[in-house]
Structure 1
Amino acid sequence: MTKCGECNEGLLDGAVCSLCKQTFHYNCIGITEGGYRKLGDRKSTWRCPKCKSGGLCLQVNTPTLSPTHEPSSKILEEIRTLSSRMTAFEELVGQIKLMRDEFSELKSSVVEASTIIKDFGLRLQNMEDRLLEVEKTKELINGLQSRVDVLECERDAAEQWNRMNNVELKGIPQTANENLLDLIVSIGSKVNFAVTKQQLNFIARTPSRDYNHPKPIVACFNSRYVKENFVTAVRSFNRESALSANLLGLRGSAKIFANDHLTTRNKVLLNKTKQLAKEMGWRYVWVKHCKIQARRSDSSPVCVIKSDKDLQKITKGEM
């Protein structure tokens, strides 16, 4: 095994002097392994400290220190300590450089994140502005919808008012070349309420989606009071007997009904009222003067149903 030309201890690798040909620990001669490696081709001309000072290390593996050279020994010891510190310092420099690189990457990441957050903030603000616009639009639409509902109610009320003199007859079979005026006069005669043609403004059959039954007949009286008395007479007759087609000389025994001529909206509302009253155990639902009315029992007050909102009177049992 090769021994260090300075401390005479074994070594596997070290700095080789080009003059005395001895091998040295790096620390023993005050250099670092990295520094020696960096010499490259110049390692072939490298000389140990003693050879540089003019002395020769001719005795291979012979300690170069002696009691007479104690100051040199202290210097070498200091050099070794300094070299060790330099090695630690180089490691510290490397760590600082690594930390600097990491900090630079972190700084780039922070800048990138800041840009993303700023962009996100702008988008978020944009979304908030749009949400505010949507809320305003929603409020506007709700206001318009409320106005439309009011207008529809007013229009329906006006239409219903125009039908106040109308009576709707259902269950009368349709025949060819029928005379509806004579038919109304005949019905009045059967129910003991005289009707003249002069009391009628017009009479006609109206379209219907119920193809299983004949089209209803709508008769318009000149006087609302005459119309009301006519409807009352037909209903009274039906309670005691039954006004049917065969009593009028027509085929069939279907019962004939006379009702106020309701608008489409009120007809739908009437069906809802009847269905809900049946579910809630209310006994009476009827129409008078084109107004839908309901009563829970004989002793209960009358509820007028004008809209879907009024159906809560039946649901909650309000009077």
Structure 2
Amino acid sequence: MSESPNARASSAPDLSDLSMDDTAEEFRMNVNRRTRKRGHNDEFTHAFEDFTKKIMTTLNEWKMDFGQDISQINNTLKNLSESTQEMKAEVTSIRNEFSELKKTVRRLESRQTEVEGDITSLKKSMQHHSDEHDDVAKKLEIQNKEIKVLYQLKKELEEVKVQNRKIRTDINASQQRDRLLNIEIVGIPERDNENLNEIILKIGKSTEIDIRNDDVLQVNRVTAKLKVQGRPRNIVAKLRTRQLKDNVISQARKRRLSTKDLDIQGSIIPVYINEHLTLYNKNLLKMAKEIANLKEYQYIWTKNCRIHVRKAVTIPAIFISDEEDLRKII
């Protein structure tokens, strides 16, 4: 009994359990074997072979596509692995940087605490300085007021000094005018029951100047402001005229009188006859002598109770009336 085409077709092998190459080869051999056995229906055989070729072609294409897909997947996995390593390295770097950043943040926080402390201290210091500045400003304001007062007082003091100088000069000049006719005799020892008028007459005789009793208006001993132990008091005599006074002083200086010339017993002592200066003029004369000697002035003298200094004969004399005039001795 012959087989039906459907029965033969249903006897085709199962390709699902075979590999791709083995399945195609066995399928081809089985087809050829069965085709030879059957020996009929060549058209079907050719059609089936064409179908088989198409299937094989399709399977090969699938295989190639699958291989390419696998290769792409492998490349993608490789690239993904490299990217993963790079990401790991980058994550590690980020972690390290984050760790350093945390350390930096901690240092900054610590520094911020220090800075805040410094700022607080600076604020306190600034407040302290501000308070001190306010105190200084107040003190300066007070000092400025005091300085203005001092300037005013200084100005008034200068005016008072000028006035005092004028008053002192006027008083001294008035006192000195009262002494214009006086001579002051230094160096005559004191004796009990001495006759001062007789001493004046002996001075006239020694200087060859005619002095009469009525030429001596007044004569007496005067006590010095600073009395020196053992030194006799000076004799002050008021004569009748200035001319007589000047002649006595001039001749006494030329003759260099002594106690021997006046018939005074005892040790020979120089006798000096000067103009009767006020205490102020005596001190002024003393200071003028000291400065003139220091500045090598050759002459210093008094005339009409006025003090004069001269550095040399060819240089004009300088008149000294008070301490301010001492500045002229240069």
Give the TM-score range, shorter chain: 0.5 to 0.7
Aligned-partner Cα distance in 1 for 2:303–2:252: 17
Q: Deviations over 1:53-96 (max 9, x none)?
A: xxxxxxxxxxxxxx9xx9xxx9xx8xx88988886776566455
- Give secondary structure in 2 for the equivalent of 1:247: coil
Residue correspondence of structure 1 range 169-208 to structure 2 within 5 A: 169-191=185-207, 192-197=209-214, 199-201=216-218, 203-207=220-224, 208=226
Partner of 1:104: 116
**Structure with greater helix share of residues:** 2
Q: Is the 8 A contact 1:284 1:295 kept in 2?
A: yes
Change over 3 Å in CA distance of 1:275–1:137 after alignment to 2: same
Q: Tell me if the contact between 1:185 and 1:197 (Cα under 8 Å) persists in the aligned partners.
A: no
Instruction: Call closer, same or farther: CA 1:228–1:168 in 2, change over 3 Å.
Output: farther
For residues 279 and 86 of structure 1, what CA distance do their matches in structure 2 show?
Answer: 91
1:243 CA drift (Å): 2.9
For residue 215 of structure 1, what is the aligned residue in structure 2? 233
In the TM superposition, 1:66-215 aligns within 5 A as: 94-95=106-107, 97-129=109-141, 131-132=143-144, 133-134=146-147, 136-137=149-150, 140-141=153-154, 143-144=156-157, 147-148=160-161, 150=165, 151-191=167-207, 192-197=209-214, 199-201=216-218, 203-207=220-224, 208-215=226-233
Residues in 2 aligned to 1:182 and 1:145: alpha-carbon distance in whole angstroms = 51
Deviations 1:101-142 (A, max 9, x none): 234313311211211221221233244345432474266247
Q: Secondary structure at the match of 1:194?
A: coil
Amino acid at match of 2:130: K
Partner SS, residue 125 of structure 2: helix
Higher mean C-alpha displacement, 171-180 vs 201-210: 201-210
Give the TM-score taking structure 1 as reference length.
0.60
1:33-72 correspondence to structure 2 within 5 Å: none
Maintained 8 Å contact 2:253/2:273: no
Q: Matches of 1:88 and 1:278 in 2, distance apart? A: 90
Secondary structure in structure 1 of the residue aligned to 2:236:
strand
- Secondary structure of 1:122's aligned partner: helix
Give the drift of 1:174.
0.8
Q: Which is greater in Rg?
A: 2
Distance 1:147 1:178, change over 3 A: same
* In structure 2, C-alpha distance between the alignment counterparts of 1:101 and 1:296, rounded to whole Å: 82
Bigger mean CA offset, 169-178 vs 117-126: 117-126
- Please tell me whether the aligned partners of residues 181 and 245 of structure 2 are also in contact (alpha carbons under 8 angstroms): no
Identity of aligned residues (%): 23
Structure 1 unaligned blocks of 5 or more: 1-66
> Does residue 1:306 correspond to 2:321, yes or no?
yes
Gaps spanning 5+ residues in structure 2: where?
A: 1-76
Calculate the aligned-residue CA RMSD, in Å. 3.8
Residue 246 of structure 1 aligns to a residue in which SS? coil
3-state secondary structure, aligned to 1:123: helix
* 2:307 paired residue number: 292
Q: Distance in 2 between matches of 1:242 and 1:96?
A: 103
Tell me, what secondary structure is at the counterpart of 1:220? strand
Residue equivalent to 1:248? 262
1-structure distance, mates of 2:242, 2:227: 26
Q: Using the TM superposition, name which of 292-301 and 94-103 deviates more.
A: 94-103
Following the alignment from structure 1 to structure 2, what is the Cα–Cα distance between the partners of residues 212 and 115?
75
Q: 1:227 to 1:196 in 2, by over 3 A?
A: farther
Classify the secondary structure of the residue corresponding to 1:169: strand
Are the aligned partners of 1:189 and 1:195 in contact in 2 as well (CA < 8 Å)?
no
* C-alpha separation in 1, matches of 2:101 and 2:249: 118
Aligned to 1:25: none
Aligned position for 1:58: none
Task: Name the count of aligned residue pairs.
Answer: 241
Residue 245 of structure 1 contacts residue 256 of structure 1 at CA under 8 Å; is this kept in 2? yes
Using the alignment, how far apart are the partners of 1:135 and 1:155 within structure 2? 34
